[in-house]
Amino acid sequence: DADVTQTPRNRITKTGKRIMLECSQTKGHDRMYWYRQDPGLGLQLIYYSFDVKDINKGEISDGYSVSRQAQAKFSLSLESAIPNQTALYFCATSESRYNEQFFGPGTRLTVL
């Protein structure tokens, strides 16, 4: 079984809809991250969490919110989706701030 899972893997939605992307991990890591990937732009950090009570904004948090329901679960929400949020979204975890991050398989989101 995969260590970091994301649901759904693909989602098509309409402008203005609320959508939630979910991430679960079995690695036992405290640190979790949400990234957005756009072609030619690399990965940009949306939000990160160092534990259940610690949530921090990344470089592109506008239009997004997150919830850390448990150590193993970290959800990303788009309250009112817009077309320029069409992208590939990745969840990642790490053991500590110095360690490598482990990535989920990604969620491809299309906003029409």
Partner 1 sequence: AQSVTQLGSHVSVSEGALVLLRCNYSSSVPPYLFWYVQYPNQGLQLLLKYTSAATLVKGINGFEAEFKKSETSFHLTKPSAHMSDAAEYFCAALYSGAGSYQLTFGKGTKLSVIP
Tell me, rounded to whole angstroms, the distance of Cα 27 from its chain centroid: 16
Q: What are residue 78's DSSP bridge partners?
A: 19
Q: Which is nearer to partner 1, 44 or 65 (CB)?
A: 44
Give the binding site for partner 1 (CB under 8 A). 4, 33, 40-45, 48, 56, 58, 90, 92, 97-98, 100-106
Q: Residue 8, preceding bond cis, omega within 30 degrees?
A: yes
Min dist CB 103 to partner 1, Å, is: 4
Min dist CB 79 to partner 1, Å, is: 24
Q: What is the DSSP letter of 83?
A: G
Min dist CB 17 to partner 1, Å, is: 24
Q: Which is nearer to partner 1, 57 or 73 (CB)?
A: 57
**What's phi and psi for 104, nearest 5 deg?**
-80, 180
